Structure 1
Amino acid sequence: MRPRSGGAQPRIVTESSPVARKFLYVVAGLIVLVLAALLVYRIWGMQLIRAVMVPREAFTPLRPLAPNAYDDPGMWIARPDIRKGNPALWTPQGLKDAPVAKKAAVFFIHPTSYITTFGGAHWNMRLDDKDALNTARRFVQGQASAFNAVGDIWVPRYRQANYGAFLTRDQAGDQALAAAYRDVAQAFAAFLKANPEGPLILAGHSQGSRHLLQLLREQVAGKPVAERIAAVYAVGWPVSVEADLPALGLPACARRDQAHCLVSWQSYAEPADPSPIIETFERRNGYTGRPRKGTHMLCTNPITGAFNGSAPASANRGTLDSRDDARPPRLLTGIVPARCDTSGVLMIGEPIDMGPFTLPGNNYHVYDYSLFWGDVREDARQRLATFLKS
């Protein structure tokens, strides 16, 4: 707006007031603090997490469950006779599925939901821990639900290892995981007893996939039940093509129309720092006894269902958007691409807002299933169809 002619010209103030200067100093100070915090988190993020998350108590062996513990429906988060409040039966609004020729029985092992800090942390979850169970139910809704079009889903409760067990090299961490596996193995035996015939799909995520791989090695490979496996989804846990797969009795899935095979991926946005997971991967020998270091980490592209390769975002059949607590999760298509990197992890392009649980290094571990929920659903459908034909 122009000043009026003939009158006094407006005075231009070029000096900031003391209050304004003080405000700017505060803003500048906050910016410096935020940048410093981000730098500390970027450099020492995992060290800080370890310091907070690893339990400080000594490991105490768990008392074995009763032999018939998993005959009780209350020991399951999901199974076919649980209809009311079964999170595995959830589907996004408006989703329509064509019926399958024959359903499979699906055994799903949920990921770590027992995450505690400092003095309150135990090495294994108590079965009556409501917070951990509620979180596990949310995981089942967002992950195991991808399989409800192809089968009846069984998800056991188990005394899972604390998240801190993965952050330490102390013997207690291994002991906690071994204790959790014994519960899972007992639940799997009950699952097979209830499903003595027909196709099976085995799936898990993170800690669940770790237990799943051990189940394959000890309870499936080389046994009659192995012939019933339509597909295995060991998502969110590193698998060595050379040092693990030969002992598991199943090959890597090379294409989507292949059955009786195993898929696995771990999701990172770019720029990615997968060094913590690679360190974990290379630290120990595989299930064959061969060192994993120097071998290839299995990366299945969930959009194509193929071993390695890339796919554009436009081909993604659906990503679960769960950011808004005020409304149910939505299925959004064409949002996230996928590319298997030479390191063996799955790249999803630039960071995407999936919620607050992205880990250091642009690690989208928590969202491995959510990023490709629609693709997992189609993948299971096609692999089961192929299995039934054969």
Structure 2
Amino acid sequence: MQKALKIGLWILSSVVLLVVLLVGFGKTAVFAYLAPPATFNMMHAPQAPNYQDDYFWVSHPNKADSADLLPVGIDTTEDYAESPVDVFFIHSTGYVGPGGWNSTMSNKNSEAQSIEYMLTSMASIYNGCCRIYAPHYREAHLHSFISDDLMASSQALDLAYSDVKAAFDYFLTHFNRGRPFMIVSHSQGSAHALRLLEQEVDGQALQQQLVAAYVVGYWLPKDKLSRSFSSIRLCESASQISCIVSYDTYGEGGKLEGRVPHWYASGWEFNTDEQQKSKSIVCVNPLSWRTDLQQASSERHLGAMPVEFKRTPLDMLLARNPGYKFTKLPPITKHLTWAQCQADGRLVIKQQQNNAFANHLDQNNRSYHVLDFSLFYANLRQNAVHRTQSFLQQHP
């Protein structure tokens, strides 16, 4: 009884904390509470991951994790451990504070629940073709993408990238060992993936092993392709290999908002939405696998797969992981939407209403950012298998 009472009082106090922060102090106070310190200090950075330890792989063929799940109705007898191709998956931003500029990678923190969501709704797409490896890394705080302190933001992103590169090196040496591979990423993960492709893959012998890179949920300006890559190109067909798939999803009437950092050989560049427009953002339509501005009809939509996000605002404020583990996936929803690349680089879909894919955040920009993968789950799954087959035919 006393234990139950203590739990009840703790929950009540947590709710009171949330109400006080949001109502009594307002959003400004909440953001200040969640924000990292004013400056970046490497002396306060979390300890680097050791990729010899399985703990620092949130998905691995030798671990039972949510990237292994299959939606209801999709059946396969394939032994993933014997798949001929690997996927190196770089997850997006889950770390929103409070704390330092980079995640401590503790499974007790709220970002661990976000990673669980990402493995389920994103990485699991690729278990039909590939063995999946996803590193735990000291991801940069969300503040790195909105802070006026560009020096601190750059340092936090550099630290995160150093882990991604270390994980990739370990993956190549100890797991991959010359097999074909894909790089799959979302949001912050895509920023690191583009840098990794530029520094470690493009124009090098390793590019011969690259099936494709699905660099999703990030604005990819055309000048990034011309300034950063000598050999890797944008994917313009469903069977093209050693190329990049990139798109960022919006509802009808949506708009580009915010600031998206990109790494170039000269360093990080933090570009506003207006600057991005002048650069022209690229878009590969995941229904047609083309870069033109033609609308691909809903008949080409093979299926979306809804996954419920289990982390609450209170979990974020208290920096806690609610500990929910996905054990099954719902059936896919076919013919949900058409898709069309726009001249400004947005991928626009039919505005979703009264269903599991509705934009519950009701953002002015009508972004479907969190759903970039799950909206096109079956199309991406089929295409990953198709590109794998195309690669293996060309490299018997």
- Tell me the TM-score normalized by structure 2: 0.77
The aligned runs of 1:43-54 (5 Å cut-off) are 54=35
Given candidates 288, 292, 303, the residue that maps to 1:304 is 288
Separation (CA, whole Å) in 2 of partners of 1:313 and 1:129: 39
- Tell me the TM-score normalized by structure 1: 0.78
User: Is 1:383 aligned with 2:391?
Assistant: no
Q: Say whether the 8 Å CA contact 1:54–1:165 is kept in structure 2.
A: no
Separation (CA, whole Å) in 2 of partners of 1:163 and 1:303: 30
Q: Gaps spanning 5+ residues in structure 2: where?
A: 1-26, 270-274, 311-325
Q: Which moved more, 1:245-254 or 1:206-215?
A: 245-254
In the TM superposition, residue 330 of structure 1 has moved relative to its aligned partner by 3.0
The aligned residue for residue 350 of structure 1 is 351
Given candidates 108, 123, 130, the residue that maps to 1:151 is 130
SS at match of 2:233: coil
Q: Which has more radius of gyration?
A: 1
In the TM superposition, residue 261 of structure 1 has moved relative to its aligned partner by 0.7
The aligned residue for residue 42 of structure 1 is none
Q: Say whether the 8 Å CA contact 1:110–1:204 is kept in structure 2.
A: yes
User: Is 1:321 aligned with 2:321?
Assistant: no
Q: Say whether the 8 Å CA contact 1:54–1:167 is kept in structure 2.
A: no
The aligned residue for residue 65 of structure 1 is 48
Separation (CA, whole Å) in 2 of partners of 1:313 and 1:262: 23
Alignment-mate amino acid for residue 344 of structure 1: G
1:43-100 superposed Cα distances (whole Å, 9 cap, x missing partner): xx9x99976754344322126636xx10111110111111x3x111111012024859
Alignment-mate amino acid for residue 264 of structure 1: S
Separation (CA, whole Å) in 2 of partners of 1:253 and 1:348: 20
| Higher RCO (CA-CA < 8 Å; seq separation 6+) | 2
SS at match of 2:260: helix
Given candidates 195, 199, 214, the residue that maps to 1:218 is 199
Q: Say whether the 8 Å CA contact 2:284–2:290 is kept in structure 1.
A: yes
Given candidates 92, 96, 103, the residue that maps to 1:115 is 96
1:246-292 superposed Cα distances (whole Å, 9 cap, x missing partner): 5233111111021111110000001112132xx537xx785689996
Separation (CA, whole Å) in 2 of partners of 1:359 and 1:329: 26
User: Is 1:90 aligned with 2:69?
Assistant: yes
Q: Which moved more, 1:98-107 or 1:358-367?
A: 98-107
In the TM superposition, residue 321 of structure 1 has moved relative to its aligned partner by 2.0
Q: Say whether the 8 Å CA contact 2:185–2:214 is kept in structure 1.
A: yes
Separation (CA, whole Å) in 2 of partners of 1:149 and 1:226: 23
Given candidates 250, 259, 274, the residue that maps to 1:268 is 250
Q: Which moved more, 1:380-389 or 1:121-130?
A: 121-130
Q: Say whether the 8 Å CA contact 2:254–2:364 is kept in structure 1.
A: no
Q: Say whether the 8 Å CA contact 2:191–2:263 is kept in structure 1.
A: no
Q: Gaps spanning 5+ residues in structure 1: where?
A: 1-44
Q: Say whether the 8 Å CA contact 1:285–1:292 is kept in structure 2.
A: no
SS at match of 2:305: strand
Identity of aligned residues (%): 27
Separation (CA, whole Å) in 2 of partners of 1:73 and 1:285: 29
Q: Say whether the 8 Å CA contact 1:244–1:288 is kept in structure 2.
A: no
Root mean square deviation, CA, Å: 2.9
